[in-house]
Structure 1
């Protein structure tokens, strides 16, 4: 069986994980998360693209690339979550599944962090489970991709 590829897209400041506010985000780096996600993807037989950017236009280009490849998407939009309509519009191109991941529980944080625009269109949201949220999202997508197509 040939599965759709999966893009794991990471937004602003996630390149600083492990050093940025470790009391909130923990000590795990994005490189460590990438290694774990790539290992699981290999185990599940999934072709994976794992990327991070601090630039809105780059993120939009990657989302459009994922669309062109008919990829499922896991996105931690980080700061793009709360006010980036162009990224929201690009994500509307993605055929489900589209899973939003946040390392922290954004609903337990300050008001400015509680209303993700991406959540409006995501097929699922994982928040507050730390780096393991990425692995849960990938397992979920693998299950969906394995489901037989409706007749």
Structure 2
């Protein structure tokens, strides 16, 4: 069914005032909508309030009709869920902080593989330059040089 914005506003305010919105509350809202529906879909907000009462009065009458034990049970479940989610959030945050610490420790304490490769290539080029442009040198095996600076597996 389609209702005008005034009826939708009234229903929205009623839903907002519930402490928890479960199955019985949805059923109560359905009954409330059935009470509003009389074929005149162009009611003003004041007409809806005059017919059913203010949203606050409607919710108070619901809680007066509802069984107190079920309301207490809903409050317990809600508090338990809230506490569980809070603890889960704290555990998740601690875990993420720990992982960030581990990643940053690895990142800053050990040089990156690419940086190590560049450093090893610079050392190799320096040794080759020294070998080629100095008149006094001993014969050197290129594979020995690569093995010496741990670049043999990159070829």
TM-score by length of 2: 0.21
- Larger RCO (CA under 8 A, 6+ residues apart): 1
TM-score by length of 1: 0.21
Query: Which of the pair is proportionally richer in strand?
Result: 1
Query: Which of the pair is proportionally richer in helix?
Result: 2
